[in-house]
């Protein structure tokens, strides 16, 4: 006690945070996520070794898995508030991501770019992007939430497509407000503000050949001793930052879910009439939940694209909304831990997996030349020859076809055998305290 007093309020707050982290790590959820992450890393290490990658390549593979898993985890967590908790059917996820990214880009891209932005500091751009996604979410929600669920679905889908077409439109490729030149690049896409990680490590982060600064050269030297290239180091720092962001979003949404607010959201999902009969103004709860979800989708989009430094409207086609839904279904709608698990499982196994399968199979087995069309591949089946079909599905252009086939198989399997997903149907009781434990006053903070 006295020890804590001596350290003052800051010290005790640090202690409280440390306690929180410790108590979380001791939960089964944390162990589950950790074991899952290590399993994925193990699997992809083996795959990389099989592909004959050097150490740098292996580390880079793991970085890519971490990055994609983190991006999907944030998006799935955001969708889980809307769909998993409140039962709001938003099929415009990609649109809210796009608004987040483009708003950030217009606010923070350098004025010297081909398609210039306002050149404001990046944090302002990120906050602005998140706010823009929130506002668009509110706009979509206010009229639609008064109607039945299906209408919200239609409105959000339409909204996402409108957003994408607006950013793609030649009208906004280059435009000016007063004397300020702006542009979305239309169908050519636009460059984004400099990756914030580069600004940490380089003297002139904007230039490709810039020499590293003190911190950068120290880190890069240490890494190159282990055979790791600077770009991979950068990527890993970015991925680590993303994992921290996932942790923060998870923390936020657990608090949202494990509260009386989350309880009302669940009630809205189960039976809105009951929630209203018990005195809850459900419209207010739905609008708030929808806004929180859209804000986080905007954030997810920003964190996804910021690492690449470039954005174009083809990255926000409706298929990406579908991907996020699949990830949520895999993880289990209604579970925050399941959302992270589903995001990671989808991103690494279903999204990236097919690429590695193709590389391994084509590396070890000679499947011959791929036929020109699916028709030729199917026709060969008549002669009981499977090889052309395998070759076709593994050919470079069509690995996305293999991915879709795999997605379909997984979805059918899940819906028949485990419709609640990996962690769905768990009792994640919506309360900040243990409701079964009468008489104690401890909450989970």
Partner 1 sequence: MSGADAAGGREPEATDGDEPLLTVRGLTKQFGGIVAVDGATFDVEAGTLTGLIGPNGAGKSTTFDLITGVQRPDAGAVVFDGDDVTTHRADRLARAGLVRTFQIARELSEMTVLENVMLAPRDQRGETLWRSVLPGARGAVIEQETALREEAWETLEFLELDHLATEYAGNLSGGQRKLLELARVLMTDPTMVLLDEPLAGVNPTLETKLLDRIHELRDRGLTFLLVEHDMDVIMNHCDPVIVLHQGAVLTQGSPSEVREDERVLEAYLGGEVDG
CA–CA separation, 347 and 341 (whole Å) = 10
**Complex with partner 1: residue 274 or 409, whichever CB lies closer:** 274
Rama region for 83: left / alpha / beta (φ>0; ψ in -120 to 50; rest): alpha
Window 330 to 359, contacts with partner 1 (CB under 8 A): 334
Among 106, 267, 329, 330, binds partner 1 (CB under 8 A): 267
Using CA atoms, how far residue 202 sits from 149, 234, 316, in Å, is 50, 11, 31
Among 15, 150, 270, 366, binds partner 1 (CB under 8 A): 270
| Residues 6 or more apart in contact with residue 426 via CB below 8 angstroms | 332, 335, 338
Q: Does 427 bind partner 1 (CB under 8 A)?
A: yes
**Complex with partner 1: residue 408 or 445, whichever CB lies closer:** 445
**Complex with partner 1: residue 276 or 359, whichever CB lies closer:** 276
Query: Backbone phi, then psi, for 364, in 5-degree steps?
Result: -105, -25
Q: Does 443 bind partner 1 (CB under 8 A)?
A: yes
Among 252, 380, 399, 406, binds partner 1 (CB under 8 A): 252
Please count the residues of the chain. 445
Long-range contacts of 149-156 (CB under 8 A, 24+ apart): 149/87, 149/88, 149/89, 150/89, 152/88, 152/89, 152/90, 153/89, 153/90, 153/91, 155/92, 156/89, 156/90, 156/91, 156/92, 156/95
Axis crossing angle, helix 2-25 with helix 28-50, rounded to the nearest 10:
60
Q: Does 276 bind partner 1 (CB under 8 A)?
A: yes
Q: Does 280 bind partner 1 (CB under 8 A)?
A: yes
**Complex with partner 1: residue 197 or 256, whichever CB lies closer:** 256
Cβ(211)–Cβ(203) below 8 Å: yes
Q: Does 247 bind partner 1 (CB under 8 A)?
A: no
Stretch that binds partner 1, among 2-10, 165-173, 226-234, 285-293 (CB under 8 A): 285-293
Stretch that binds partner 1, among 69-77, 227-235, 272-280, 302-310 (CB under 8 A): 272-280
Q: Does 86 bind partner 1 (CB under 8 A)?
A: no
For partner 1 (CB under 8 A), the number of binding residues is 42
Window 290 to 319, contacts with partner 1 (CB under 8 A): 292
- Rounded to the nearest angstrom, the gap between the alpha carbon of residue 92 and the centroid of all alpha carbons in its chain is 14
Secondary structure (DSSP) of 301-365: HHHHHHTTTEE-GGGG-HHHHHHHHHHHHHH-TT-HHHHHHHHHHIIIIIIIHHHHHHHHHHHHS
Q: Does 149 bind partner 1 (CB under 8 A)?
A: no
**Complex with partner 1: residue 221 or 270, whichever CB lies closer:** 270
Among 285, 325, 346, 351, binds partner 1 (CB under 8 A): 285
**Complex with partner 1: residue 126 or 253, whichever CB lies closer:** 253
Query: How is residue 170 annotated by DSSP?
Result: G
Using CA atoms, how far residue 83 sits from 267, 367, 428, in Å, is 13, 43, 16
Output the smallest distance, CB 258 to partner 1, in A: 8
**Complex with partner 1: residue 37 or 88, whichever CB lies closer:** 88
Query: Backbone phi, then psi, for 261, in 5-degree steps?
Result: -60, -50
Output the smallest distance, CB 30 to partner 1, in A: 20
Among 274, 386, 405, 409, binds partner 1 (CB under 8 A): 274
Interface residues with partner 1 (CB under 8 A)? 252, 255-256, 259-264, 266-267, 269-271, 273-282, 285, 288, 292, 334, 425, 427, 429-433, 435-436, 438-439, 441, 443, 445
């Amino acid at each position: 006690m006295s020890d804590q007093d001596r350290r003052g309020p800051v010290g005790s707050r640090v202690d409280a945070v440390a306690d929180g982290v410790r108590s979380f790590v001791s939960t089964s959820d944390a162990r589950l996520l950790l074991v899952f992450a290590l399993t994925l890393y193990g699997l992809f290490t083996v795959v990389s070794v099989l592909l004959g990658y050097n150490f740098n390549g292996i580390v880079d593979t793991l970085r890519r898995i971490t990055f994609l898993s983190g991006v999907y985890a944030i998006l799935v967590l955001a969708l889980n508030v809307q769909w998993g908790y409140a039962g709001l059917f938003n099929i415009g996820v990609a649109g809210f991501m796009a608004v987040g990214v483009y708003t950030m880009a217009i606010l923070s891209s350098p004025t010297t770019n081909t398609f210039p932005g306002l050149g404001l500091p990046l944090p302002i751009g990120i906050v602005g992007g998140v706010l823009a996604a929130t506002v668009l979410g509110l706009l979509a929600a206010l009229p639609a939430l008064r109607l039945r669920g299906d209408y919200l679905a239609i409105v959000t889908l339409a909204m996402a497509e409108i957003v994408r077409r607006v950013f793609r439109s030649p009208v906004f490729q280059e435009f000016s407000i007063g004397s300020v030149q702006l542009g979305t690049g239309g169908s050519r896409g636009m460059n984004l503000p400099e990756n914030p990680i580069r600004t940490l490590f380089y003297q002139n982060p904007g230039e490709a050949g810039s020499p590293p600064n003190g911190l950068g050269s120290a880190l890069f030297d240490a890494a190159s001793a282990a055979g790791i290239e600077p770009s991979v180091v950068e990527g890993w720092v970015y991925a680590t930052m993303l994992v921290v962001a996932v942790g923060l979003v998870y923390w936020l949404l657990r608090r949202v879910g494990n509260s009386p607010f989350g309880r009302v959201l669940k009630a809205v999902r189960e039976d809105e009439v009951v929630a209203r009969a018990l005195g809850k103004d459900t419209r207010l709860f739905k609008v708030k939940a929808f806004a929180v979800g859209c804000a986080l989708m905007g954030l997810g989009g920003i964190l996804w694209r910021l690492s690449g430094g470039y954005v174009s409207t083809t990255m926000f086609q409706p298929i990406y909304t579908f991907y996020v839904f699949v990830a949520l279904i895999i993880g289990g709608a209604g579970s925050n831990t399941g959302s992270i698990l589903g995001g990671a499982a989808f991103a690494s196994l279903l999204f990236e997996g097919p690429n590695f399968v193709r590389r391994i199979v084509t590396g070890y087995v000679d499947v011959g030349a791929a036929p020109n069309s699916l028709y030729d591949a199917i026709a060969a089946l008549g002669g009981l020859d499977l090889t052309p079909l395998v070759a076709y599905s593994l050919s470079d252009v069509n690995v996305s076809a293999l991915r879709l086939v795999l997605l379909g198989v997984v979805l059918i399997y899940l819906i028949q055998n485990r419709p609640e997903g990996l962690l769905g149907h768990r009792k994640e009781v919506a309360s900040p305290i243990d409701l079964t434990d009468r008489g104690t006053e401890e909450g989970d903070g």
